[in-house]
Amino acid sequence: MAKAWLLNLDAELELMRPTGYYPSRATLRACQRFETVAMQLLDVDDVVLKDRAQPGAQRLRGFTAAAWCPTPSALRALAKAGATLPEAPPLSCLQRVNHRRFHVELGQTLPGAVFADTIEAAQAALSQPPNGGWMVKRGFGFAGRAVRRFPLVPSPDDRRWLTQALTWGGVQLEPWLPITHEYSLHGHVDQSGRLQVGVPCLLIDRTQSLYTRLDSAYLGVRPDAKLLAAEESALGREAERVGRSLHAAGYFGPFGVDAFAYVVGKLRHFNARSEINARYTLAYATGMGIGAAGGFSNRTAQLW
């Protein structure tokens, strides 16, 4: 059965504050910047629900609902449009597995990284900054808005940002690092725990990294990551571990594991798990081999 999609790339904002959530115009514009890339997920007979505010009852009768992330508002809109809702993880599960705390529960992957859920713990870490300062990550992220590089002496605005971020379940503090390449590996875990994993992808232009420009730019990925053998093995182990952990937490569906390489002195180091995304990602189609090498040039999709 063909699918009716809602590309709610702002899902983390809803997970952060789900009650009465509806995206602002600015948020919708930010999502639209990436919609063409996200449409790589669609098959030729699939459609996209474009108007969340007025989904139009029964317009999508005969389609199976699909969402970037099956949040409550996404499922409500698709149901109002007449699409058939499949089973989906509950909101509480989506909130847990998409929060950075879940990543931390699997073990910190960078020397010196700290998760803080109180202002006292965060201030204690900030009082002992590493040489390059801290990268501070909010619990939920969306298009680079959830990451801020803190200088050795944080400004009043930095401290205001931190205080607000802590209200959403804690922050991850990581040493700022000279990242050279960013990677991702994607998978899908079903309700029985069966796990499928794709191929490692390389972010095309590292200068667009969250760790360097923080401007939400995205130029795509390549499926020829050319990792060192030990790095590819480590990334594969992390993806399998994440998939099993997601299943144990009650999640089923698509996911992605981000990784990066960085240099200390002249030595290359590899962080095999820097982020977990329990949803679709912009690189998912490429990483899982959807379409022609993950591309969408041979695909068309109807827009609603």
Q: Does one domain contain both 188 and 268?
A: yes
Residue 251 has what pLDDT?
98
201-259 tens-digit pLDDT: 999 864 544 444 434 467 789 998 899 999 999 999 999 999 999 999 999 999 999 99
Mean pLDDT (the chain, rounded): 89
- Find the mean pLDDT for residues 183-210: 86
Q: Does one domain contain both 216 and 167?
A: no
How many structural domains comprise the chain?
Answer: 3
Residue 50 has what pLDDT?
83
From 54, 88, 122, the end of a domain falls on 88
pLDDT at residue 97 greater than cutoff 60:
yes
169 torsion bin: left (phi>0), alpha (psi -120 to 50), beta (else): left
With respect to residue 294, please indicate whether it lies within any of the assigned structural domains.
no
Residue 217 has what pLDDT?
61
From 152, 175, 198, the end of a domain falls on 175
pLDDT at residue 34 greater than cutoff 60:
yes
With respect to residue 150, please indicate whether it lies within any of the assigned structural domains.
yes
Confidence of residue 282 (pLDDT cuts 50, 70, 90): very high
With respect to residue 301, please indicate whether it lies within any of the assigned structural domains.
no
pLDDT at residue 164 greater than cutoff 80:
yes
With respect to residue 263, please indicate whether it lies within any of the assigned structural domains.
yes
Q: What is the 3-state secondary structure (H, E, C) of the chain?
A: CCEEEECCCCHHHHHHCCCCCCCCHHHHHHHHCCHHHHHHHCCCCCEECCCCCCCCCCCCCCCEEEECCCCHHHHHHHHHCCCECCCCCCHHHHHHHHCHHHHHHCCCCCCCCEEECCHHHHHHHHCCCCCCCEEEEECCCCCCCCEEEECCCCCHHHHHHHHHHHCCCCEEEEECCCEEEEEEEEEEECCCCCEEECCCEEECCHHHCCCCCCCCCCCCEECCCCCCHHHHHHHHHHHHHHHHHHHHCCCCEEEEEEEEEEEECCEEEEEEEEEEECCCCCCHHHHCCCCCCCCCCCCCCEEC
Q: Does one domain contain both 54 and 145?
A: no
Domain of 235?
178-287
Q: Does one domain contain both 29 and 58?
A: yes
Q: Which pair of structure tokens corresponds to residue 252?
A: 């089923």
Q: Does one domain contain both 190 and 282?
A: yes
Residue 131 has what pLDDT?
87
With respect to residue 13, please indicate whether it lies within any of the assigned structural domains.
yes
With respect to residue 269, please indicate whether it lies within any of the assigned structural domains.
yes
Q: Does one domain contain both 220 and 273?
A: yes
Q: Does one domain contain both 282 and 183?
A: yes
pTM score over 0.75: yes
- C-alpha 108/C-alpha 238 separation (Å) is 12
Residue 84 has what pLDDT?
96
Q: Does one domain contain both 171 and 268?
A: no
Q: Which pair of structure tokens corresponds to residue 220?
A: 């795509």
Q: Does one domain contain both 148 and 200?
A: no
